[in-house]
A and B are shown apart, each in its own frame.
Chain A
Amino acid sequence: MEKLKVDPITVEVLGNALLSIAEEMGGTLVRTSYSTNIKERKDCSTAIFNEKGETIAQAAAIPVHLGSMLGICKEILEKYSLEEIYPGDMFIANDPYNGGGTHLPDITIAQPVFYEQQIVGFVANIAHHSDVGGRVAGSSSGDSTSIFQEGIRIPPIKILKSGVINNDIIEMILLNCRTPSERLGDLWAQIASNRIGEKRVGELIDKYGNSLFQEGMSEFLLYSERKIKEGIKKIPDGVYNYTDYLDDDGIDLDKSPLPIAIKIEVSGDRILLDFTGTCKQVKGGINVVKTALLATIYYALKAVIDPSIPSNAGYYNSIEVKAPEGSIVNAVPPASVGGRTDTCQRIVDVIFGALAKAVPDKVVAGCNSAVSTVLFSGIDSRKNDFFVYPESLGGGLGARPFKDGMDGVHVHVTNSSNLPIECLEMEYPIMVERFELRKDSGGAGEHRGGLGIRRDYRILESVEFASHADRQKFKPWGLFGGKSGEPGLFIINLEKENQRVLSSGKVSEVVLESGDILSAQTPGSGGYGAPLKRELEKILNDVIEEKVSQDLAEREYGVEINLSKRTIKKRENLVAKGDEV
């Protein structure tokens, strides 16, 4: 192997040290933040950049946050010349179109790191603020039609100048938020986190000297580049296509379906992802800006190619992306973006779908791939107080080349935890009637798709219901003969006289009265491989475990089951169908 400028041991140690700093920044942010969203759900990320604003090291983070990290320093350096940036400055931004953000609740704060009067890098962190103003509580809503309805927009501006806080800006931000004291606490935590990062990077440079530090950072980027290129080389050269469809945008329900199309070209160590053919941006808030698209792609390729690649610019720069401007995957102002994760999730599915033809043993079948989110708001008469209760639900993770999918999990770019039932019943006038896996929602296959979730909410006092969710019309697809999983749905008063199914996954201002039951049923996921190849023992076990009904099992898998005797046998006269996608 060719000799590196900095030896491979120092590169590893330096990379470790930078990661450790990013983690300490994250620890500080979580520890000193105010809101539950950051403290308990850890909805935040931290990173370190070089002087060009390229990401060097990023703490284990929410994948979609990568997007804001990609944008922030670039936007700062476009707006400010190096002469206009001083030690102790800090920049704040959240705007998807001018501030590198991906949606408004994610506020990024970045600080330049100086060494001997020179900018040597940046540190930054991002926190999901639970409200930044706008049309609805919580800011993000499936049915906002413009970014202006989604909260305060902040371009990159100095929140600190030479170490002095600019209170005017803080006042202005707080006035635009519904829960200002919580916001202030979280902003302070973000500032504290950067200060720690800046100090630690300085100490690291003291130890290694600036030139070794800089060269080490460059080598660390080259290292990621080598790793991703090694990975791409293992993908057979070729052109791979896939198209999947979003249900609707929650506004123009007749404009359905909404295609997301991809063409992936692989040649040697190059990979190009081309989204030509994807639908135009839409009125509803499921548009994705470029940085969020990139973050999603980086997630998907890392998961397929090599989960151990450090998330940094050396990796990012090796990926080529073509996305038509003004499309749903590269939106332009004033498109609303609050529900962007539904689309991000589907982009990952589309990438997996295309790559299935190239690397069938590295991908999973179609997943629940929405962030099925329900939101209840109203007055709790016990406390005589207005409340907003959002909850996002997982679903099936697609079947895998060597095993079944996972039941009832968050997939792809999110992985948040839900609020315990005992907490939510204490806090809100709502009871959960059931929380269980949806039988028969996983697609049949040699490997079965993961199951979706059913969660029923009993309303105790009149509330307003809103949601954003997808995959209620287009099923999570199977691979290589595996069957599709079941789509999701929201039903009010299931199997009662006044039952009604909601027309879209994206609704708002639906009034639910005391006694109503809202049943949120999330999508399962697709199967992998022909059902007839499934081991009999697994089919029987699924039926015993009531994850698959006897009916469906006998139909899809061509078997006869005697449940009381626990026996299973193949029906005769069956011919296995060939493998097909």
Chain B
Amino acid sequence: MGYRLGIDIGGTFTDLYLFDEINGKSKVLKVPSNVNDPSISIEEGIQELLSSNQVEPSSINYLAHGTTVGTNTAIERKGATTALITTKGFRDLLELGRQARPSIYNLFEDKPSPLIKREFRKEVTERLKYDGSIDKELNFEEAESIIKNLKTQNIESFVVCFLHSYTNPTHEKQIKKLINKHFPDIYVSLSSEVLPEYREFERFSTTTINGYLGPKISQYVSNLANRVKKLGIETLPYINQSNSGVMSIQTTKENPARTALSGPSAGVAGASHISKVAGFNDIITFDMGGTSTDVSLIQNGEPKITVGKKVAGFPLNLPMTDVHAVGAGGGSIAWVDNGGILKVGPHSAGATPGPAAYGGGGLEPTVTDANVILQRLNPNYILGGEMEVDYEAAKQAIQDKVANPLNISLSEAAKGIITIVHSNIIRALRVISVEQGFDPREFTLVAFGGAGSLHSAYVAKEVGIKHVLIPQNSGILSALGLLTSDLKMDFVKTRLLNAKEENLEKVMSEFETLSSDGINWLEKEEVASSKQKVEQKIDMRYLGQNYELSISLDCKLNTREDLDYILEKFHKAHEKNYGYSNPNEEVEFINYRVTAIGEVPKISLKKYRKDQTDPYKARIAQRNVFFDKEEKYITTNIYDRSLLMPNNKIEGPAIVEQMDSTIVIPPGVSAEIDEYLNIILTL
């Protein structure tokens, strides 16, 4: 027995979560992120956390790390100088995409320019037909001279993308050999390996992102492994990926694109784990920070996985946790527009200058300032007393920029800002629930992030949600989530086949290949066979449709009965997702998907003993707080979260303050502390 460590890097802070396998207790630490080399803040954070808790580095049994290096590299366009080798006639495919422009009405908003300059997008003679047969042979001489000519161009990474290569990778592999001959150690990404799935633009784009990030991510994870080793930690770190699984350092180096949208996935995994333990399987996560709010829907304890999101404006078609983001955060700026209406966001005061109340020179009124005026946030200090609040500055900003122009009182203006930011959040909640056919009333809202619990009771009420769960460590949920994730790798292959008995053998052979790829990967990752698991999915559609549904396949497909079984599942899923099904229509198999899973032991959260119901020990103060429905300031009890014990019950109006967030309990809402120290609001 020993310790498990989760480390999550965000733009501002690096969060560490240390879990003691013996007694189930946890220790947390937040340190500022080092922007230039994030692995430095990791090293410092680990040292501080371990020494202050007298933990030997060698007793760390498991280390998982979530990073935004991939995302930031793509957004800031600081990746490798990359060259593309593609089919003759198609070097502009990355630039043309599907021809759509990003904004219909804004004439000045540009498509992002491709990550590879046109100068380095090279065409070679070769062509495959749709069935993988060869239309034009690969011209080796031409290809070799093109590759040789790139020698003088300081190319750091190669991407090879041929049409229809998902069904026949031969030409791409031949090009790789040529590249290796002339550039022995260079990073090479083949579209037939990164994403052997049809639809060329999405495949090319995903492969390009992989190549663009490859050298930098490889360097980063190598540095990380070295630093961790130097500290005396014997286990190798695992890296978080977008599908809320983790992977080894080596797999990360080969698949850097899989980290590109991993940011929100660990938080969702953490929220999902805590909620499941607390008895809530159907939840909506509500993560509100300084600049934005992320929401996602989890049914039966399973985060929704999607493909087809974008990073830095480019499609990345790898499986990832389905998170919807909206520009509503504590720092969102309130402003009166030229039609005389109050707007909040999408602009944010960010970390600098920040909200006016933070005294960093911010002059624009923000959501945080409104919370200060309404005294939902402590008007004197926050962060457990570490940071003073400039009430007067908040007042000035709201008075000048909102109350005066609209000719309303200060508290009306502050309440108005909150009302509008709530309506923006509610729209986001509706996007992931009602617009997808889910009824939010059947879900529990799980609030976290710095600002989530300030607003959760009100937004829950608006969409008809009955319960809100606020986890104990709501500020470091991502670091915790890292310790609840399994090793995961997705494998996919496209092959269009009619869903008929005579094709089942072909389907099974695709799955056999993919599964053995999966098992091989698990072996390489040194996962014990008892911990290995393979999940299969098959993408299906009605003949002639152009969109697919992923159906999980929990049996072999050998007989007519097996086929009927999976068809039945497909019709049902179609009915549920789209409102109708056509059992008489022909069905097609499109993609075969295998996810190889290596189970890691999960952290088991500590249960605390029940205390009495009256939380008087945690009551630390009183202040006047403005509540919406009552439309006035009410004398309200303030509680210290760290003193609240299981079974404590609080009736609103009340405010609970904790180190990194504040919980608003409006009149009529009751709160109870559960055995895991979560706060459960009942509306």
- A interface vs B, CB < 8 Å? 1, 3-4, 7-9, 11-13, 15-17, 19-20, 23-24, 27-28, 31-34, 36, 39-40, 60, 63, 185, 188-189, 192, 223-224, 226-227, 230-231, 299, 302-304, 306-308, 363-364, 393-394, 397, 400, 402-403, 406-411, 415-423, 425-426, 431-437, 453, 456, 544-547
Contact = CB atoms under 8 A, between A and B. Distances in A.
14 contacts: A7-B406, A188-B579, A189-B579, A230-B339, A231-B338, A400-B107, A417-B99, A421-B163, A421-B200, A422-B199, A434-B90, A435-B89, A437-B96, A546-B118
Contacts of A393: 99
Interface stretch (B178-186, B239-247, B387-395, B415-423): B415-423
Contact of B340 (A1, A364, A421, A547): A1
Interface in B56-113: 88-93, 95-96, 98-101, 103-108, 110-111
Interface in B438-483: none
Nearest first, the 8 closest Cβ-Cβ pairs linking A and B are A434-B89, A27-B435, A9-B416, A32-B579, A417-B98, A307-B105, A227-B339, A36-B546
Given A189-B579, A303-B107, A435-B89, 10 more contacts: A11-B341, A16-B424, A17-B423, A307-B105, A406-B110, A408-B99, A426-B130, A426-B198, A431-B127, A453-B99
Contacts of B406: 1, 7-8
Contacts of B53: none
A381 to B, nearest CB: 14
Chain B interface, DSSP helix/strand/loop, else mixed? loop
Contacts of A304: 107
A330 to B, nearest CB: 24
A400 B108 contact: yes
Contacts of B437: 31
A423 B199 contact: yes
Contact of B96 (A16, A302, A453): A453
A56 to B, nearest CB: 15
Given A415-B104, A435-B89, A456-B89, A12 B200 contact: no
Contact of B546 (A13, A423, A433): A423
Contact of B99 (A23, A60, A410): A410
B553 interface: no
Contacts of B580: 32, 34, 185, 188
A410 B101 contact: yes
Contacts of A453: 96, 99
Contacts of B337: 227, 308
A9 B419 contact: yes
B407 interface: yes
A510 to B, nearest CB: 23
Given A12-B423, A188-B580, A226-B339, A436 B405 contact: no
A437 B431 contact: no
B135 interface: yes
Contacts of B434: 24, 27
Contacts of B104: 60, 63, 415
B426 A20 contact: yes
Nearest to B117: A545
Contact of B200 (A11, A27, A420): A420
Given A32-B580, A400-B108, A422-B199, A226 B101 contact: no
B342 A9 contact: yes
Nearest to A21: B430
B587 to A, nearest CB: 15
A1 B405 contact: yes
B130 to A, nearest CB: 4
Contacts of A410: 99-101
Nearest to B167: A422
Interface residues of B, number: 70
Nearest to A456: B89
B340 A20 contact: no
Contacts of B339: 223-224, 226-227, 230
Contacts of B127: 431
B386 interface: no
Contacts of A299: 105
Given A226-B339, A418-B99, A545-B118, A40 B89 contact: no
B260 to A, nearest CB: 22
A9 B420 contact: yes
Interface string B574-601: 0001111000000000000000000000
Nearest to A408: B96
B95 A408 contact: yes
A302 to B, nearest CB: 5
A437 B341 contact: no
Interface string B117-128: 111000000010
Nearest to A383: B543
Interface in B573-631: 577-580
Contacts of B423: 12-13, 16-17
B531 interface: no
A299 to B, nearest CB: 7
Contacts of A15: 341
A192 B99 CA distance: 31
B436 A420 contact: no
Interface in B327-351: 336-343
Nearest to B427: A20
B342 A12 contact: yes
B545 to A, nearest CB: 7
B489 to A, nearest CB: 24
Contact of A417 (B100, B103, B117, B118): B100
A298 B579 CA distance: 35
Contacts of B412: 7, 9
A422 B200 contact: yes
B146 interface: no
B338 A230 contact: yes
B578 A31 contact: yes
A303 B109 CA distance: 11
Contacts of B342: 8-9, 12
A278 B343 CA distance: 42
Contacts of B103: 307
Contacts of B163: 421-422
A7 B408 contact: yes
Contacts of B93: 435
Nearest to A400: B108
A139 B341 CA distance: 44
B496 interface: yes
A568 to B, nearest CB: 15
Contacts of A546: 118-119
Count chain A CB atoms within 10 A of each CB in B88, B95, B101, B103 and give the residue with the most: B101
Given A9-B419, A423-B546, A192 B579 contact: yes
Nearest to A433: B89
Contacts of A20: 426-427, 430
A235 to B, nearest CB: 14
Contacts of A226: 338-340
A408 B130 CA distance: 25
A495 B89 CA distance: 16
A120 to B, nearest CB: 21
Count chain B CB atoms within 10 A of each CB in A9, A192, A432 and give the residue with the most: A9
B571 interface: no
A408 B118 CA distance: 14
Contacts of A411: 101
Contacts of B92: 408, 435-437
Count chain A CB atoms within 10 A of each CB in B105, B166, B202, B545 and give the residue with the most: B105
Nearest to A404: B110
Contacts of B578: 31-33
A406 B496 CA distance: 36
A33 B343 CA distance: 34
A407 B200 CA distance: 19
B201 interface: yes
B101 A409 contact: yes
A103 to B, nearest CB: 19
Contacts of A307: 103, 105-106
Nearest to A182: B544
